[in-house]
Copies of this chain bind each other. A is one copy, B any other.
Amino acid sequence: MLEESMDKPHIVTCTAPVNIAVIKYWGKRNEELILPINSSLSVTLHQDQLKTTTTVASSRSFQEDQIWLNGKEEDITHPRLQSCLREIRRLARKRRNDGDSGLDSTGLSHKVHICSVNNFPTAAGLASSAAGFACLVYTLARVFGVEGELSGIARQGSGSACRSMYGGFVQWIMGQKDDGKDSLAQQVEPETHWPELRILVLVASAERKPVGSTSGMQTSVQTSCLLKHRAESVAPGRMVEMIEAVRRKNFAAFAELTMKDSNQFHATCLDTYPPIFYLSSVSQQVITLVHRYNSYYGETRLAYTFDAGPNAVIFTLQQHVPEFVQVVQHFFPPETNGGQFIKGLPVNCTDLPEELKQAIGLEPMPKGISYVISTKAGPGPCVVEDPTQHLLESDGWPKKTE
A345 within 8 A of B: no
Q: Could you tell me the distance in whole angstroms from the C-beta of A309 to the nearest C-beta in chain B?
A: 15
Residues of chain B within 8 A (CB-CB) of A273 are 256, 259-260, 263
A208 to B281, CA, bound (A): 12
Stretch of A6-14, A28-36, A50-58, A223-231 that contacts chain B: A223-231
A280 to B283, CA, bound (A): 12
| Docked complex: A254-289 residues within 8 A CB-CB of B | 256, 259-260, 263-264, 266-268, 270-275, 277, 280-281, 284, 287
Q: Could you tell me the distance in whole angstroms from the C-beta of A220 to the nearest C-beta in chain B?
A: 11
Residues of chain B within 8 A (CB-CB) of A274 are 259, 287, 291
Partner of A287, one of B230, B275, B280, B281: B275
Look across to chain B and name the residue whose beta carbon is closest to the beta carbon of A274.
B291
A260 to B272, CA, bound (A): 8
Interface size of A as a range? 20 to 34
A268 to B234, CA, bound (A): 14
Question: Known contacts being A229-B233, A230-B226, is A270 close to B277, with CB within 8 Å?
Answer: no
Q: A271 contacts B281, CB within 8 Å? A: no
A234 to B180, CA, bound (A): 31
A33 to B271, CA, bound (A): 30
The count of identical subunits is 2
Q: Could you tell me the distance in whole angstroms from the C-beta of A228 to the nearest C-beta in chain B?
A: 9
Residues of chain B within 8 A (CB-CB) of A272 are 263
| Docked complex: A187-216 residues within 8 A CB-CB of B | 208
| Docked complex: A314-334 residues within 8 A CB-CB of B | none
Partner of A267, one of B226, B234, B291, B363: B226
Q: Could you tell me the distance in whole angstroms from the C-beta of A280 to the nearest C-beta in chain B?
A: 8
A229 to B229, CA, bound (A): 8
Residues of chain B within 8 A (CB-CB) of A263 are 270-273, 275
Partner of A266, one of B208, B225, B270, B287: B270
A264 to B274, CA, bound (A): 11
Look across to chain B and name the residue whose beta carbon is closest to the beta carbon of A291.
B274
Look across to chain B and name the residue whose beta carbon is closest to the beta carbon of A292.
B274
Look across to chain B and name the residue whose beta carbon is closest to the beta carbon of A363.
B208
A208 to B230, CA, bound (A): 31
Question: Known contacts being A226-B230, A229-B233, is A267 close to B271, with CB within 8 Å?
Answer: yes
Partner of A270, one of B234, B270, B363: B270
Partner of A226, one of B226, B256, B284, B363: B226
Q: Would you give 21 A-B contacts (Cβ < 8 Å), ordered by A?
A: A208-B363, A225-B233, A226-B229, A226-B264, A226-B268, A226-B271, A229-B229, A256-B273, A259-B273, A259-B274, A260-B271, A260-B273, A263-B271, A263-B273, A264-B270, A264-B271, A266-B270, A267-B268, A270-B270, A274-B291, A277-B287
Chain A residues near B (Cβ < 8 Å): 208, 225-226, 229-230, 233-234, 256, 259-260, 263-264, 266-268, 270-275, 277, 280-281, 284, 287, 291, 363
With A208-B363, A277-B284 already in contact, 14 other A-B pairs whose C-beta atoms are closer than 8 Å: A225-B234, A226-B229, A226-B230, A226-B264, A226-B271, A229-B233, A263-B270, A263-B271, A263-B273, A263-B275, A264-B270, A264-B271, A280-B281, A281-B281
